[in-house]
Structure 1
C-alpha cells in the first residue's frame, strides 16, 4: 500500500459520506430540504475557499468570467474531478463536468432531483460575481447530467450592467459548449503543485465536503435532526464501503483499520491488545474536525457512526465502546 493509495481510500470514504448524506436527506426529508442543505454547503465552501483559492492558483486579477471559470477548472482538476474548460473571450468562459459526475458517483445520480443539483449552482456559481465585486457576472447553465444531458455545463458571462440576484443564474438548454482542447486549457504551475501536493489536496477536497455538510446539517436541521441524518448516512455508507476501504488500506483487523484510517487522514493512532482479547484504539486527533470552530457534540457522534457501521460490516457481533473522546475499546464477537 502506498501513501497515495491510502489518501485515495480516505477521500473515497468521506466523499461517500457526503453524497450519502445528501441522498439520505432527499429520501427522508424531501428535495426542498436537500436543496437547502446543498445550497448552504456550496455557499460556505465558496465563502471560505474562493478568493484565497484564486491567489493559490495564480489566477487572481484575471477578468471576472475567466477567473471564475479557471478557478472551477483548476480546483476540480486538483480534486480529481473530470472537468473541461473553453475560453471564448475575456467576458465569456465555459466550464463542463462530463460524465461520470464525481459528486454523484455511480447509480447515486439517479436519486438527485433537479433542484438539488441546481442548488449547487445557486450556492456557488451564481455568487462568484458578488465575491469578485462584479455584479454583472452571471452563470448560464446549458445542461445538467441529472436531467439526462451529457454533463453539467455552462458559461460565465460578464454583462455590461449589474444583474439582480434572480438573474445571476439562468438556464439555456439550447446552447452547447464548444469542443474542449486539453492543450489549450489552463495548467497548474508544476513548481508549486508537485504530485504529492496534488494527491494530498485530492484527499482534502473530499474531506472538506464532509466537514462542511456536517456543519451545515446541524446548523440547518438542529443537532438532534441534523445529527441523526448525518449519523444514519455515516452508518449506511460505512457498512457498504468497509470491505473495499480496509482492503485498500491493507488492514487485516478492525483495530488495524482504525489505525490505518487515522494515519491516512494525517493523525497518529495506536491499537493496544488487552488481556481479555479486546483492543484499545487511541487517536491523537481528528483531522475532520480541524478547522471547525466549537464543533457541536452531535457532529462527533455522527462521525463516530462511521466506525459503528464499519464494525458492523467487519463483525456484527463485535462491540465498540468509547472510553474517552478519541479512545475506543473493541470487543470481538463471541
Structure 2
C-alpha cells in the first residue's frame, strides 16, 4: 500500500518537473528570440515589463504569504527574493548586514539563463530585470527611501548577480532606486543564518507544484506582454516561433517525464493529453477517422489574465507543433478554437 501510494505521487511530481523545465525554456527562449529578431532595446523593454508586472502582482501579497511583512523593508525585500526563488528551484543566497541593509546573490549557474543561453543575453537585458522589479520594491511598500544597489551581473562575466537592498536617509529619486557599485563584493553566504519556510505549511508536494507554477508564471506574464508590445501579428509570430523551437528541442527530455513512448500519431496524442493534464488543463481524447482529437476545455495558464489577447495561444500552438516534430517527422498537428469562448480542439494525424 505504501509503495503504491509513493509511486502514484511520484508520477505527477515527475510530470510537474518536466512541465517546469519546458516553460522555463520557453521564457528564456522568448528573451533570446527578441534579442536576435528585434534587438537589445526591444528585448530589454520586454523584460522590464514582465518583471514590473510580476512585481506589482506578487510582491506585496507574497510578503504576507511568506510571513515577511513585519520585517524592516530592506530585510523583507531581500528575504522575499531568497524564499520565493528558492521555492521555484532557483539558486539564491541571502546575507543580512543590518536592519537597513540586506544582500541577495544569484550564484552560477543562473537559473533564468540556463546553459549556453547566458552567452546571448546582453547586460542591458539583465539590468531591465532589476529596473522592473528590484528598483520598485520601495514604491510598492510606500517607502521611497528603499533602493537596490547591484554589485555584479553574471551576463557581464562576473561570478553571479548580486546586490543589496538598503534604506537611505532621504527619499530616493526614480533614477536613484537602482544603482551600480561594481567595486563591492557580497559577504559570504551562511545557510544556517538564512530564513527557512515552515515545513508544516510547505510540505514536499506543495513545493513540487509551486516549482512547476513558478516557471509557468513567467510565460503567463510574458505572452500578453509580447502581444501588447509588438501587436497580435508580430507578437503572435514571435510567440509561435519561440514555442516551436523550444518544443522541437525539448521532446526527448519531456517525453520520459510524461511516461510517453510512442513515436507515431497515437503516441503523440497520448503525450499531448498527458502534458495538458500536467499543466492542469482538462482534455478529452478520442480517435477520429485517420487521427485523434483532443478537446481542451479552456487554458488554465491564462485564466484571470484580463489582457490575454487570443494571439497569446500562439505560444502553446507553437510548443505543441514543435513537440510533434520532435516526436515524429510526419506527425501533423492543427489547432482550432479560442480559449476565451470555446474549447481548444487539437487534431493529431
Measure how far apart 1:323 and its partner are.
Answer: 4.5
Q: 1:247 aligns with which of 252, 256, 262?
A: 256
Superposed counterparts of 1:49-88, under 5 Å: 49-88=58-97
Deviation readout 1:6-51 (Å, 9 max, x if unpaired): 1011011111111101100000010010000000000000000001
State the secondary structure of the residue aligned to 2:149: strand
Q: Extract unaligned runs of 5+ from structure 1.
A: none
Question: 1:186 — aligned with what?
Answer: 195
Superposed counterparts of 1:193-272, under 5 Å: 193-252=202-261, 253-272=267-286
Query: C-alpha distance in 2, partners of 1:102/1:128?
Result: 22
Query: C-alpha distance in 2, partners of 1:190/1:178?
Result: 27
Q: Is structure 2 residue 185 aligned with structure 1 residue 176?
A: yes
Query: C-alpha distance in 2, partners of 1:257/1:247?
Result: 10
CA RMSD of aligned residues (A): 1.2
Q: Is structure 2 residue 105 aligned with structure 1 residue 96?
A: yes
Q: When the two structures are superposed, what TM-score results if normalisation uses the length of structure 2?
A: 0.92
Q: 1:113 aligns with which of 97, 106, 122?
A: 122
Aligned length: 330
State the secondary structure of the residue aligned to 2:201: coil
Question: 1:329 — aligned with what?
Answer: 347
Deviation readout 1:63-108 (Å, 9 max, x if unpaired): 1100100000000000000000000000000000000100010000
Query: C-alpha distance in 1, partners of 2:82/2:90?
Result: 9
Measure how far apart 1:294 and its partner are.
Answer: 5.0
Q: Is structure 2 residue 162 aligned with structure 1 residue 153?
A: yes
Measure how far apart 1:277 and its partner are.
Answer: 3.5
Query: C-alpha distance in 2, partners of 1:157/1:322?
Result: 50
State the secondary structure of the residue aligned to 2:200: coil
Q: 2:332 aligns with which of 310, 319, 323?
A: 319
